[in-house]
Chains A and B, each alone.
Chain A
Amino acid sequence: MSHHLVEVKKLFFSYDKDSQVLEDISFRIIHGESVAILGENGSGKSTLLYHLNGCLRSKEGQIKIGDYTLDTKTIPLIRKTIGMIFQDSDDQLFMPNVYDDVAFGPLNMGLGEEDVKNLVNKALQETGITHLAERRPYKLSGGEKKKVAIATVLAMSPDILVLDEPSSNLDPKSRLELIGLLGKFKHTKIMATHDLDLALDLCPRSLVLHQGKITYDGSTLELFKNDSFLKENHLTKPLRMQKFF
């Protein structure tokens, strides 16, 4: 049994009757893959991610994480499997200090105090933020907050990491550190991003969403070679592939 498999079949979703946000979404992601979800603003990237751990539920379509089909009974199990990192770290870091925030997930999993302490220390070490343990989240820089957000999820030992705009609001140095950090993880990774260079660095495979539909599912490098398709889907090449002069 592998919890790393993510399978979405014929998923439809709308917030209201007038507009369809997700339309006939189907894909399959296997163990260890890193997949970028690309698309213009409002294309449904974040909405799709929120479906993967049951934060949003649709009446049409099926989502399978490993052997579990997502429904009310399996949501707690699926949330242990999928670690979700939100776009705005301030939304994710709700506890008064970093240590308590990282411990929040493992404590909710019902683990003993010693196990929780070990998991928290391990997660802090992996993300290189042991020195921030006693700090208050609102006093951290954007890059530090992002690392803490990742640590909060890693402490729950998830099989799959789901990241919503991981590099948003980060300065160049913090962004590079984040790419290095994410590159080290062997987890299955799914990330919605506008940072095309990050997608090229970390994700061999990409899904493109355009007006709620998947218009591309394949190699990231091949995607960025197709100028006319990128233009149709309101995308561009990553900066490093563009010729400015």
Chain B
Amino acid sequence: MSKIEYFFSSFRDFNQVALGDTIFHKIDPRAKLLVTIIFIGMVLSYHKYEVISLIPFFSYPLIFILGGKIPFKLVFKRALLVSPFVLLIAIFNPFLDRAALYTLNGLEISGGLVSFFSIILRFFLTISSIIILLASTKFETFCFSLQKLKAPSIFVVQLLLMWRYIFVLLEETARMVRAYFLRNFNLKKGIKFRIYIYILGNLLLRSLARAQRIYLAMLSRGFQGKIMIIDDQKFGVREIFYVSGWTLFFVGLRFLNLPYKMGLLFWS
């Protein structure tokens, strides 16, 4: 299986998880989106040197992963995929902020090192909350929720079409790569950079031609700039309880400072 085909199949796996039937899958995506925003807001509201107080917030993604039967490996692997970008941002902190913040058995811990760990924790919290939101929501349902939340139609249409045709494009790419390997006898070296450019160029031209045909097909069925569906999702009592329950939980974690209270309990 080529790397592209592997990526294609893992993409489908992710898509498959969203078709689950748990309570977390059934909640209106607007409620889940709202909870995610509140969660991220709470996590980001801490001071840059805060580390321990962030740990109880892992209970949210954990409850969601267990309740929504989302494979833990899937969340972790997706988070790792984005982690280099965050590492690149955080890695300089220990060098730039060297002032000692704590002393532990004579060992000085700099503010930069603490803020480095704080950024990493915040990253895993926020990114996992987004991954579980997407893994428990059909992408199209998520897009239509954005439309209901008054996101610009053009943005929603772009997202929907990207989602629909990403599989077609990936299949086309996989076919081209396969065709390359069938006529290339030096398999160890992989695809040459020059060939990648040809493949990408070809893919671009094919995508443009396809986009033109899709647009004609949409026009033929009366498209006027906004995609409409028969909407069965409702923001009801269940969603109100969901949002208010989680909000209370997050506010509690934010202001009760559980690790500090537990520390007092054990040390006093």
Interface residues of A (CB under 8 A from B): 50, 53, 55, 76, 79-80, 82-84, 86, 88, 90-92, 94-97, 99-100, 103-105, 107-109, 113, 116-117, 137-138, 152-153, 156
Chain B residues within an 8 Å CB radius of A104:
221, 223, 227-228
Interface size range of chain B in the complex: 20 to 34
Task: Check B229 against A107 for contact (C-beta < 8 Å).
Answer: yes
Residue in chain A with minimal CB distance to B221: A105
Q: What are 7 of the A-B contact pairs (CB < 8 Å)? A: A79-B222, A91-B214, A94-B217, A100-B140, A104-B223, A105-B222, A138-B168
**How far, in Å, is B245 (CB) from chain A's closest CB?**
30
Complex CA–CA separation, A80 to B219 (angstroms): 11
Chain A residues within an 8 Å CB radius of B227:
95, 104
B220 at interface, CB cutoff 8 A: yes
Complex CA–CA separation, A107 to B218 (angstroms): 12
**How far, in Å, is B63 (CB) from chain A's closest CB?**
28
- The residues in B between 139 and 198 inclusive whose CB is less than 8 angstroms from any CB of A are 139-140, 160-161, 163-165, 167-168
Complex CA–CA separation, A32 to B223 (angstroms): 27
Task: Check B140 against A108 for contact (C-beta < 8 Å).
Answer: no
Q: Given the known A-B contacts A91-B213, A116-B230, are A108 and B221 also in contact in the complex, defined by CB atoms under 8 Å?
A: yes
From the candidates B138, B216, B221, B223, name the one contacting A96 in the complex (CB within 8 A). B138
From the candidates B164, B167, B168, B217, name the one contacting A86 in the complex (CB within 8 A). B217
Task: Check A97 against B140 for contact (C-beta < 8 Å).
Answer: yes
From the candidates A55, A113, A138, A152, name the one contacting B219 in the complex (CB within 8 A). A55
Chain B residues within an 8 Å CB radius of A96:
138-140, 160, 163-164
Task: Check B219 against A79 for contact (C-beta < 8 Å).
Answer: yes
Task: Check A109 against B213 for contact (C-beta < 8 Å).
Answer: no
Residue in chain A with minimal CB distance to B160: A96
From the candidates A79, A90, A113, name the one contacting B221 in the complex (CB within 8 A). A79
Chain A residues within an 8 Å CB radius of B216:
50, 55, 86, 91
Residue in chain A with minimal CB distance to B138: A96
Task: Check B220 against A55 for contact (C-beta < 8 Å).
Answer: yes
Chain A residues within an 8 Å CB radius of B220:
53, 55, 79, 82-84
Task: Check A113 against B217 for contact (C-beta < 8 Å).
Answer: no
Q: Given the known A-B contacts A53-B220, A91-B213, A97-B140, are A107 and B163 also in contact in the complex, defined by CB atoms under 8 Å?
A: no
